[in-house]
Structure 1
């Protein structure tokens, strides 16, 4: 009779340990995170979420863009969802099959899901050579990135190999973030 409280305590402790062991690890590559685009003057736009599912060598992900902040534009015979500011910042999701996988050192596929084209509001048509690719890296509690220039015309035809991101380091160019509308991204 005297061992019953101890037995209940031990069962409770075992249950707590099992629950802790089965809960997913916390961190930037686990669970649902917000996608925040940021400007040079403190602007922050929450444009959606990405949900990470840990795997042995990184994480797979699903992405959801919330188009409430976007305005519909018809540019160069294509409907586009654009963020309005000093420039139009139009989201161009990667149009081809891809693995939707990241590692602690490689966020290329996630960056391909966050491709943008920028243009001045008064300019005619779409300028696909004004592409934006966010070069991302992992910090202790977030994924951060800075805009680089890419020529989105390269996506006019499907890649030969769907497992290799088309915008590698030699297809991207560093740009000065100061004149751009939303040159930074943070996923937290």
Structure 2
């Protein structure tokens, strides 16, 4: 009797277990409007805007919208930046050149380049582009997670020779302890 019961209900039980696992039945997809937050080493969560994904064949177009009401205007090195204030000042650095604004699940480079930042201490004057923060992103079952890496943003001062490929690759960024930055994690959900 137990063998007959398991034979008849076993597939249903396995299906129910798989459906209950996070991400097993419905992987996170690049579609629709999603919230962007930065998370701090102290547990602080700072919502900074949204990104809208629009599938277009093999790639997905995206439109970034930062909520400028959450940022404070800073005039650094003869240029205006939108910054967040805390134990350090974190300023958004818009990618200054044309780009296709598309991604895939395995290639989030243009989204990473749209969310470049620099940091400075509250007492420092001017923008130091070599203090760049690059959030290396990956798609998870719950959304996109970006981990802070160090990058020299001076490299994007001149237009790239090829504008179909993001200029920063893994060789251009340096792993850092995310806790070394005030807001070391970026999440899109």
Which segments of 5 or more consecutive residues in structure 2 lack a partner in the other structure? Answer: 1-25
**Cα deviation digits, residues 6-57 of structure 1 (max 9, x gap):** xxxxxxxxxxxxxxxxxxx984300000001110111111100000011222
Query: Any conservation in 2 of the 1:28–1:141 contact (CA below 8 Å)?
Result: no
Query: Any conservation in 1 of the 2:27–2:141 contact (CA below 8 Å)?
Result: no
Aligned-residue RMSD, C-alpha: 1.3
1:108 is matched with which residue?
A: 109
Structure 1 stretches of at least 4 aligned residues deviating more than 3 Å after TM superposition: 25-28
Tell me if 1:162 matches 2:156: no
Q: CA deviation at 1:155?
A: 1.2
1:95 is matched with which residue?
A: 96
Q: CA deviation at 1:179?
A: 2.2
Query: Given the two structures, how large is their TM-score scaled by the length of structure 2?
Result: 0.84
Q: How does 1:15-164 map to 2 (within 5 A)?
A: 27-164=28-165
SS, match of residue 94 in structure 1: coil
Work out the CA distance in 1 between the residues paired with 2:148 and 2:130.
14
**Cα deviation digits, residues 84-128 of structure 1 (max 9, x gap):** 000000001101100111111111100000000000010121110
Query: Given the two structures, how large is their TM-score scaled by the length of structure 1?
Result: 0.84
Work out the CA distance in 2 between the residues paired with 1:113 and 1:36.
14
SS, match of residue 164 in structure 1: coil
- Against the structure 1 CA distance between its residues 44 and 159, is the aligned structure 2 distance closer, same or farther, given a 3 Å change threshold? same
1:177 is matched with which residue?
A: 178
**How many residues are paired up?**
164
